Amino acid sequence: MRLLGISAHYHDSAAVLVEDGRIVAAAQEERFTRIKHDAALPRQAIAYCLSRCAGPLNAVVYYEKPLQKFERILRTAFAAAPGGFRAFAAAIPDWARRKLWISLEIEDALRALGHNMDGKIRFASHHEAHAASAFFPSPFPHAAILTLDGVGEWSTATLAQGNGAKLDFLHELRFPHSLGLLYSAFTHYCGFRVNSGEYKLMGLAPYGEPRYRDLILENLLDLREDGSFRLRLEHFGYLHGERMTSARFDALFGGPARRPADEVTQRHCDLARSIQSVTEEIVLRIARHLHSITGAEDLCLAGGVALNCVANGRLLREGPFKRIWVQPAAGDAGGALGAALSFHYAQPGAVRTTDGTHDAMRGAFLGPEYADSEIAAALAERGLAAERLPDSAATARRIAERVAAGAVVGVLQGRAEFGPRALGARSILGDARSPRMQSVLNLKIKFRESFRPFAPIVLAERTAEFFDLAAPSPYMLLTAPVRGARSSEPSAPMAERLRESRSAIPAVTHVDGSARVQTVDAATNPFLHAVLREFDALTGCPVMINTSFNVRGEPPVCHPREAIEGFLHTGMDALALGPYFIERSTVPPSLLPAANAPRAFAPD
C-alpha cells in the first residue's frame, strides 16, 4: 500500500510517502520554495515524494478534518461576537476559496503530476495525526502518548495509549484552553513571531529568573493536579483573532508587548523564564497523570510543544517514564507523516513490528539528495573551482581538520533532514571548545540574536563523559546538563554572561550550564559519526557545534546551489558539498560580497 500524507494551509506544510508502513520520503515545502514555514499546498514536496514512489498511490491522507475546524471557527466567532467580527470576516474568503475545498486542490495538484486520485482523498483528525506520528515510528511496542500544540480542530492536547498497530485515545483538552497558545502568547508579548519564535523564547529563558511564575499561575490559568487547566480568557486576544494578548495581559505584566526591533531587556528574560517554568510544570503534571492511568513505561510525544527540548529534558530526568521518544518533526510537518501512518495501521490485517530499540525514522534523513554531477554543475554555474576528494572518509577527515583549526564549515551530504533540526546533512559545523565560536556563528554566519545558543553533537558512545544524559538524543530534542559546567551569575548583565566561558566546551554550554544535545551513532548517521571520530582523534574531544545551514529568516538549504550562495554570502571558511571541498581563500574576490555590503533578512 502506497500512501501520500499531506499537511498544508497553516504552517510548515509537508508531504510524506509511506509504502507498506515504511517511511520512504518526507519533506517540507519550505525547503523548495525558500519561504520559511511555508503554509501553501506542498506541490514541490509532493512532486519529490512521488519521484520516489514505486507505483500508483492507493490513497492520499490529509492531516486535519476541515469541516470540523471550520465548525470550531464559526462557533468561536459567534461566542466572541461582536469583538472578533473583523478577523472572522477576513478569514472567511480563504475558507470559502481554499480550505473547505482542500480535497479538490489536492486532486488538481496530483492530476497535474500524472496521478488521478478522484475519490481517494482521506482525512485524519489533527491530533490523531500527531499521535500516530509519535507512536508508530517509535521503537516501543506499547507506550503512552502525549500530544500538545496550539489547536487542531478542537483538541489542544490528547492523552492516548499505543499498543501494536492500535491507538486508544483517553482524554483531551479542548480549545480555547491550550498550552501551545499560552506559550505563543508570551512569544508574541516578548516581541517574537508566533509559530516561529517560540524557540527563541526558550533560548532566552535561562537568562532570566521566574519572577512572574506565580503571577501567571494565579492570574492566567486554573491549573489542576492532573495537568489540565482552564485559561482566564479575558487576558488573551486570540478568540477575537486580532492579537494573542489583551490590554489586561499588558496591565498584568507592566506594559505593552515588545516590538520586534526593540531591545531585549531583563524583564523579557524573566518573562521567558517564567512561562518556561510554568510550561514544564504543566507537562510534568500531565505526564504523571498519563502514567498513572496507563501504567506504561514508555512515552511518545508530538505536537509543537514537544519541540520544547528543555521540558523534554526535565521529563526524562524527573518524570515517571523510563524512556521517552519525540517525533523529530513534531509540529505540523510531522502531521503529514502521522496522517499516512494512521490510515495504514487502520487497515484490516495491518501489523506493526519493532525491536524496542530502533525507531523507524531512518535518522530523519528522508528529504532530497543530489548526485555528484548535479553538485558539479551547480559549482560550475557559479564559476567556482573545488577540490574533489576521493571518498567520504577523506571528506570527513578534511572537515574535522578544518574545524580543529578553527574554521567554520558548511556541510551538504546525502538526503536532507525532515523536521526543524539540522542533523548533519545540511549543517554548519564549528569547534565547541572555542570561547569565541558562539558569537562568531551568531553574528557573522547566522546573522541572528547574540543570546541564542548552539547545540552540540557528540559521539553517542562518549555522551556520558560530557553530558548528564541517560538516553540517546539523535534528533536534538533533549536538553541536558553539561558535566563540569557552571551557571552564570544571574545578576550579571546579559552581554557579560554571553562572554563567560562556562565549561570545557563553552560554545555549546548555555548560561544555565545546559546544552541541547544531539548524540551521533554510526548506524543511523555514519558520515557525521566519522567526522566526529576524526575530530576526536585530532583533538581528544568528540564534541562539535552543529547548527542548521541557513541564515536568519530562511529555511535550511536543500539544493547545492543554495548551499553555495549561503557559503559565499556569510563568513563561512569552507564548504563540503558531497565529495567537493571549497576553501573561502580560493574563491575569486569578485564572487564575494563587499565587506560593507548591506544584507536584508526576511522576518523570523
Mean pLDDT of the 262-271 span: 95
Non-local CB neighbours of 263 within 8 Å, separated by 6+ positions:
none
Per-residue pLDDT, averaged over 101-124, amounts to 93
List all residues 6 or more positions away from 30 whose beta carbon is below 8 Å from its beta carbon: 12, 13, 36, 37, 38, 555
82: cis peptide before it, omega within 30°? yes
Q: 551-594: per-residue pLDDT in tens?
A: 888 999 999 999 999 999 998 999 999 999 999 999 999 999 87
Number of residues assigned to the chain: 604
pLDDT of 346: 97
Catalytic residue among 11, 37, 344, 559: 11
Name the E strands within 474-603: 478-481, 514-520, 543-548, 574-577, 580-583
Give all strands (DSSP E) within 229-335, no chain letters.
Answer: 229-231, 298-302, 323-326
Q: How far apart are CA 427 and CA 414, in angstroms?
A: 12
The pLDDT score that the predictor gives to residue 240 is: 81
The residue-averaged pLDDT of 376-389 equals: 97
Q: Is residue 375's pLDDT more than 90?
A: yes
User: What is the predicted pLDDT for the residue at 85?
Assistant: 75
Of the ranges 212-226, 287-301, 497-511, which one carries the lowest mean pLDDT score?
A: 497-511
d(CA 504, CA 517): 15
What's the whole-number mean pLDDT along residues 197-213? 95
Range with the largest mean pLDDT of 9-13, 53-57, 84-88, 363-367: 363-367
Is residue 487 pLDDT above 90, yes or no?
A: no
**Architecture of the domain made up of 372-591:** Alpha-Beta Complex (3.90)
Radius of gyration from C-alpha coordinates of the chain: 23
> For strand 229-231 and strand 298-302, is the pairing parallel, antiparallel, or unpaired?
unpaired
CA 44 vs CA 51, 328, 472: distances in Å: 11, 21, 33
Residue in 29, 109, 16, 10 with CA at minimum distance from that of residue 69: 10
pLDDT at 495: 62
Is the confidence at residue 81, as pLDDT, over 80? Answer: no
Residue 142 annotated among the catalytic residues of the structure: no
Higher pLDDT: 439 or 186? It is 186
Whether the per-residue pLDDT at 491 is higher than 90: the answer is no
